[in-house]
Amino acid sequence: MNGVLLVECATWLIISVRFNSAMNKIRRLDNNLNIEGKRVLLRVDFNVPINDGAITEDSRIEKVLPTIKFLINKKAKIIIIAHLGRPKGKIVPELTLKPIAKKLSNYLNQDVVFLNESIGSLVIQNSKKIPNGKIMLLENIRFHKEEELNSVSFAKELSKIGDIYINEAFPCSHRAHASVCEITKHINSFAGKQLLKEVNVIKLLTNNAKKPTTCIIGGSKISTKSGILVELIKKMQNIVIAGAMANIFIKHKGYNIGQSVFEKNQENLIENIIQESKKNNCNLLLPEDVIASKNHNSKGVLKSLDQINDNDLILDIGEKTLQNIIKVIDESKTILWNGPAGYFEIDEFSAGSRKIANKISENTKTKSLVSIAGGGDTVAAINKFKCSNGFTYLSTAGGAFLELLEGKVLPGIKALEVNE
């Protein structure tokens, strides 16, 4: 048994006996519950990247396969509710879920019926015709504006499609949407096994983490992550700022960032984060050098911060910065990673993210490092570099992942609590 598997086994053993009080109130699907012939409304997050009709990264689909197979073995009639992208209540052909039905069929070795509707009498009629152990995937639920409005009437109509409801969509459980929140008031509802696993792993690793702890955090907007940064500064020994988010810190220090992406008018927020790190004796690790280029198609050039000019785009971390991060990883017992270090989609600018992923994977296998990564881009990068089996846990959630780390109550989780 390798180191990763040992860590995972130990983690799941702890999780099984150390639920916090809030999670004990969650309605869970009992393995012994008889759901044969029952219509199960399964809410999932299939928000995967699709290019010219082809799915380019399918981690979110793979995550829920165990739950789907469990329901198949229980001979339930499975109706899947999902979304893709942000159509804003309009029908956008490019955001249809039809390619996902084909992918699911390949994974499960059975035909998955795709219905180009997601609500209404036709859907209800078809839900009753599904053979036991078979699956019907509904069209993008966000084609209806009522979904994001958490509409009561819309949720009531959705609830008529099934006999029981399961939320297996942790990545969108921070959204107060009809198919995530309001629906639970109108149908017998349960938390999915994967959702519970995601929530408890994150809480375990933040509340009972082995020290020293490190968080590597990226992304482009500091304003959306300021709350989580302040909370993590109080808990972590090291915070590594990477990716486009680092640009505003570089600019705050008085350096030119050229044409690089950064969020304007956040000086006070940046200064607050810096002061909080000093107050809490947290090591705030910022880039000391970068890989810059004139555009995404040109060769990258290693530059110190004072060498960046007006026409440069910062697209990756430099070698000195990388070595500083590697040193911190080697000293850490627990690592949380959310946000790649650079524009990893292009090989020329992927070295920082690749070497970070490889180092975390290596240390998880050989040094009992506990490592958790979250967010679609982060997981996509880890999969690209073939390091997924070297992490203790990968969460496909982005916003939900961060909000739970911040200590916020997620609306989709709250909706599943037992009323006392």
User: Using one digit for the tens of pLDDT, what is the confidence trace for 230-267?
Assistant: 888 998 999 999 999 999 999 999 999 999 988 888 88
Name the active-site residue from 192, 243, 342, 376: 376
Contacts of 338 (CB under 8 A, 6+ apart): 215, 216, 217, 218, 219, 373, 374, 375, 378, 398, 401, 402
pLDDT in tens, 208-222: 788 999 999 987 777
Residue 370 placed within a domain = yes
> Which one, of 155, 89, 161, lies nearest residue 121 by Cα?
161
Domain total of the chain? 2
348 in the same domain as 273: yes
How far apart are the C-alpha atoms of 157 and 159, rounded to whole Å?
A: 5
Q: Which domain holds residue 274?
A: 209-406
Task: Give the pLDDT score at 403.
Answer: 85
Q: What is the DSSP letter of 26?
A: B
Does the pLDDT of residue 157 top 90, yes or no? yes
Residue 322 placed within a domain = yes
Name the active-site residue from 25, 27, 102, 221: 221
* Mean pLDDT of the region 166-173: 95
> Which one, of 412, 340, 329, lies nearest residue 376 by Cα?
340
Q: What is the DSSP letter of 320?
A: H
- φ and ψ at 224, to 5 degrees? -80, -10
Task: Give the pLDDT score at 398.
Answer: 81
> Which one, of 353, 387, 384, 355, lies nearest residue 371 by Cα?
387
pLDDT in tens, 295-317: 999 999 999 999 999 999 999 99
Residue 18 placed within a domain = no
Model confidence band, residue 19 (pLDDT cutoffs 50, 70, 90): very low
59 in the same domain as 191: yes
289 in the same domain as 264: yes
| 33 three-state secondary structure | coil
Please say whether the beta carbons of 405 and 231 come within 8 A: yes
Model confidence band, residue 52 (pLDDT cutoffs 50, 70, 90): confident
Residue at a domain's end among 174, 196, 218: 196
Active site residue 412: no
Residue 15 placed within a domain = no
The residue behind tokens 């909000």 is 403
182 in the same domain as 214: no
Amino acid at 39: R
Residue at a domain's end among 162, 196, 230: 196
Task: Give the chain's mean pLDDT.
Answer: 90
* Mean pLDDT of the region 344-358: 96
Residue 48 placed within a domain = yes
Tally the C-alpha atoms within 13 A of residue 43's C-alpha that lie toward its C-beta: 33
215 in the same domain as 92: no
Active site residue 376: yes
pLDDT in tens, 123-136: 999 999 999 999 99
Does the pLDDT of residue 324 top 70, yes or no? yes
Residue 5 placed within a domain = no
Name the active-site residue from 43, 60, 235, 251: 60
Does the pLDDT of residue 198 top 50, yes or no? yes
% of the chain beyond a pLDDT of 70:
93
300 in the same domain as 263: yes
223 in the same domain as 311: yes
Residue 231 placed within a domain = yes
220 in the same domain as 366: yes
Residue 220 placed within a domain = yes
Active site residue 89: no
The mean-pLDDT minimum among 21-30, 86-95, 111-120, 282-291 falls in 21-30
* Mean pLDDT of the region 273-298: 96
264 in the same domain as 163: no
Model confidence band, residue 13 (pLDDT cutoffs 50, 70, 90): very low
Does the pLDDT of residue 11 top 80, yes or no? no
- φ and ψ at 222, to 5 degrees? -70, -30
The Cβ of residue 36 has, within 10 Å, a number of other Cβ atoms equal to: 11
Does the pLDDT of residue 408 top 90, yes or no? no
370 in the same domain as 321: yes
Does the pLDDT of residue 202 top 90, yes or no? no
CATH of the domain at 75: 3.40.50.1260
% of the chain beyond a pLDDT of 90:
72
268 in the same domain as 340: yes
- Region of 267 please: left (phi>0), alpha (psi -120 to 50) or beta: alpha
Does the pLDDT of residue 23 top 70, yes or no? no
Residue at a domain's end among 138, 165, 196: 196
316 in the same domain as 277: yes
Dihedral (CA of 35, 36, 41, 43) sign: positive
How far apart are the C-alpha atoms of 374 and 392, rounded to whole Å?
A: 12
Name the active-site residue from 85, 399, 408, 414: 399
* Mean pLDDT of the region 313-338: 96
